[in-house]
Amino acid sequence: MPEQVNASTVLPEPYKGIESYRTEDADIYFGRFEEGDLVAAKIQSSRFMVLHAQSGAGKTSLLNAKVLPCLEARGVFPVTIRLQHDPVESVRTAVLLTLLPPPSLELATLDLLCKVAEFAPDQVTIRQALDYFDNLPVYDSRRSMIIESQLCDIAIPGAVTRVVGESTSLFARLLRAVVEVKRYGAHLESIARQCSSLSSTFEPITLDTHLSTLIHILNGEDYRKAYDKVLGALYLPQPELTAFFRQLSEVYGPQFPGFCIVLIFDQFEELFTLFPATLVSGAKSEAHSKYQLRIDFISQLGDLYRAATQATPSAADDAVDQDRSGTLPLRFALSMRDEYIAQLDPVSVFVPAPLDLYHLNLLNGEQARDAILRPAEIFGFKYSRECLTEIVKDLTKEDGLIEPAHLSLVCERLWQVSGKKLSQESLELPAGSAVVRKEGTTDSADAPEEQQVSVDTFNNLGRVPGILSAYFTGLLDVMPKHEQLETLEILEPLVTTSRTRNIVEMDVLIHPIYRNAKLREMLFNRLVDAKVIRVERRLRSNFVEILHEFLIDTILKEIQLRLLSDVGQSRFRAALTDLRASSSSPFRATLDRNSFDTLHQRRSEIVWDESAIEVMARSSIELGMPRDVCGLWLRQVNVPSPESLEQLLANVPAGAEPLAIGDMTAILAVSNIDSLRLEAKLVVLRSLLYWTEASQRDNIRSWIREAHLDV
């Protein structure tokens, strides 16, 4: 009997708050069925289409929870791509993680299923596993546990590069009924056929195949070698996307009749915001290099589109003949914000006009009610009629439409305050009053009258304006003041003055110079848990962004009110900037009195390095600070050994800059100075004259004599 895994007693949530819906959230995604079917149909009928909408309309959620499952169920291979770090590499990474999840991920899903369901793999067939999963209610945490996506790290044979990112196993997609068992078997066979010994013994996968058979295949050394061989064949040394997809269609595609990949570029505006045009000429700045990545990607996208649309010898050719003639089985879809549509001119160079555009509107009242009520029904609670009316009324804008992000955040808050308790009480009811989970069932008798979120609860939370504004400010209000300021400093680089999101490497936010990394990491994780920011593993680094743009205005407001208006914190930040500039200066710069005083007073909040300490020591002397202040900083200066100093002075050039305080402190302890060159002694003398206090005049006279100068 496999080890038993206890499902979490914490209910999954019926609403996503400010997070986008994922593919595994399809069962709780409502209000967009018509648009989802329409977008999926347009993608299949058009070689290149553009989905556009304003920020907050729910483009990503629509794609993940409705369009992708719909396309997969129709037999095509959709791949969602975010163009980060390196756009071309982002495409290859997303395709490999989606189409070819590693055997270890498939095994992890099967192992988790067997543990959660207490299955003996040799006694359970795929059909029985599907029946078990279908009978799990949506609110059962075991369901989400089994199908949740996981972080993958795939080593490419013979290459330094690794493919890193989140992926969902094919077996999890089989459980969700977006992939048929025939396709799952074809996937395994397409890899197995790369190994002659495995291909000759491979038997078709059917609903009656036992789970132990799948585990045996995936765990086999031959299968793993075959998987590595496929990756090695796909990850060609040259980075051209056309070569990559041509190889993919030849190596992986033949097992699938009508094989077709749909490349869905989500948040395509990031190609313009993360890789902006520059005015740089000559020097290869970082900004210029990013722009070159954008130019290269658009060029390769054009080549890829032409390779997917070139004429074939005969209209009667089937899919295989078309592949042989050179046409790639690809379709393209872009999802982006309205205001960036005008920047698609480079795309219109290779895509015939007019572009196939589809505008996703905000929710209307009926869709909003569906998105509010249907998840609640699944989880066994209701909203009172008055509460529902007031929620929709507050959310409705002047044009009669409702932003999905606002709706989801309001409902999430009502769930936390009232709905969750009601749901737990409802789910403890005897059999016969069970929660409805099938689409289309809206019987009002599914929950008793008392299982309702009341309008009083809604009013007590400040209605919609109160919930939205309180979400972020509430996070800050419970923090001590220094944590509030540090939190806002973490968020500051993630928002732009043009009120858009910026994407920053996680290490930049947690480990800025001179700041407390332990405190920052704690606050950073708090922001992640609160769904204010999200971290994504993209290619070789962890990148951070604000989770949703409607938070930007509130964040900018709080930065202005709490951070920028705090005079003390502004002085502290300016002093740290001066310290960094002085530490990196080749001219042994010192601080002004204001910066020195600020840093000295708040020295316990700073993580010091040797160069910063030396700047403070030099500045304390130059500014004429009291002896105890100078002594505090001088005592912390790192003092090299006398042997290394003698070697340093033996090679010092004539006319050198004054020595550092630490060097000088150690030199004064060296008794054997006869072997030093005259040039080195002059350097010591200049340094003493530069740093000395009145009490050290005897040392000055001694070194003048050594330099054979008149006193």
Taking only the tens place, the pLDDT of each residue in 144-201 is: 889 988 888 887 776 666 778 889 999 999 999 989 999 999 999 999 888 887 877 8
More confident residue, 669 or 604: 604
CA 409 to chain centre: 20
Structure token digits, residue 204: 């078709």
Give the closest residue to 163 by CA, choosing from 218, 90, 229.
90
- Asked, as a colleague might, if the bond just before 354 is cis with ω within 30 of 0, I would say yes
Q: Do 352 and 381 reside in the same domain of the chain?
A: no
Residue 204 lies in a domain: yes
Q: Do 97 and 200 reside in the same domain of the chain?
A: yes
Q: Do 94 and 207 reside in the same domain of the chain?
A: yes
- 696 to 240, 663, 666, 685, 691: CA distances (angstroms): 69, 16, 14, 12, 10
**Structural domain range at position 546:** 479-560
Burial 14-30 (b: 16+ CB within 10 A, else e): bbbbbbbbbbbbbbbbb
Radius of gyration of the chain (CA): 32
Residue 513 lies in a domain: yes
Q: Do 45 and 90 reside in the same domain of the chain?
A: yes
Distance, in Å, from the CA atom of 595 to the CA atom of 573, rounded to the nearest integer, reads 10
Give the closest residue to 24 by CA, choosing from 167, 183, 186.
167
Q: Do 441 and 489 reside in the same domain of the chain?
A: no
Structure token digits, residue 228: 């590595």
Q: Where a domain ends, among 359, 376, 406? A: 359
Would you state the pLDDT for residue 601?
Answer: 95
Q: Where a domain ends, among 313, 331, 359? A: 359
The answer to whether the CB of 631 falls within 8 A of the CB of 658 is no
Would you state the pLDDT for residue 576?
Answer: 95
**CATH number of the domain within which 498 lies:** 1.10.10.10
Q: Do 285 and 237 reside in the same domain of the chain?
A: yes
Residue 581 lies in a domain: yes
Would you state the pLDDT for residue 465?
Answer: 83
Distance, in Å, from the CA atom of 440 to the CA atom of 378, rounded to the nearest integer, reads 11
Structure token digits, residue 459: 């009013």
When the pLDDT of each residue in the chain is averaged and rounded to a whole number, the result is: 83
Q: Do 379 and 354 reside in the same domain of the chain?
A: no
Q: Do 578 and 453 reside in the same domain of the chain?
A: no
Residue 502 lies in a domain: yes
Q: Do 313 and 405 reside in the same domain of the chain?
A: no
More confident residue, 681 or 54: 54
Q: Do 326 and 369 reside in the same domain of the chain?
A: no
Q: Do 306 and 455 reside in the same domain of the chain?
A: no
Q: Do 344 and 490 reside in the same domain of the chain?
A: no
Distance, in Å, from the CA atom of 58 to the CA atom of 308, rounded to the nearest integer, reads 29
Max mean pLDDT range (155-169, 380-394, 437-451, 456-470): 380-394
Structure token digits, residue 412: 């999430």
Domain count, the chain: 5
Would you state the pLDDT for residue 434?
Answer: 36
More confident residue, 324 or 222: 222
Distance, in Å, from the CA atom of 11 to the CA atom of 86, rounded to the nearest integer, reads 38
Would you state the pLDDT for residue 64?
Answer: 95
- 505 to 18, 89, 249, 510: CA distances (angstroms): 21, 17, 34, 9
Residue 637 lies in a domain: no
Which residues have C-beta within 8 Å of that of residue 155, sequence separation ≥ 6? 162
Secondary structure (DSSP) of 83-101:
--SSHHHHHHHHHHHHH--
Distance, in Å, from the CA atom of 524 to the CA atom of 518, rounded to the nearest integer, reads 10
Distance, in Å, from the CA atom of 615 to the CA atom of 604, rounded to the nearest integer, reads 16
Residue 349 lies in a domain: yes
The answer to whether the CB of 269 falls within 8 A of the CB of 496 is no
Give the closest residue to 420 by CA, choosing from 13, 4, 92, 6.
13
- With the CA atoms of 462, 467, 473 and 475 taken in that order, what torsion angle do they form, in degrees rounded to the nearest 10? 120
Provide mean pLDDT across the span 684-705: 60
- The DSSP bridge partners found for residue 656 are none
Residue 250 lies in a domain: yes
**Which of 335-344, 388-397, 441-450 comes out lowest in average pLDDT?**
441-450
- The DSSP bridge partners found for residue 49 are 333, 356
Greatest C-alpha distance within the chain: 108
Would you state the pLDDT for residue 470?
Answer: 84
Residue 27 lies in a domain: no
Structure token digits, residue 438: 């099938």
Q: Confirm whether pTM is higher than 0.85.
A: no
Give the closest residue to 43 by CA, choosing from 421, 383, 254, 357.
357
Q: Where a domain ends, among 359, 386, 416? A: 359
* CB-side neighbour CA atoms (13 Å) of 145: 20
Would you state the pLDDT for residue 708?
Answer: 58
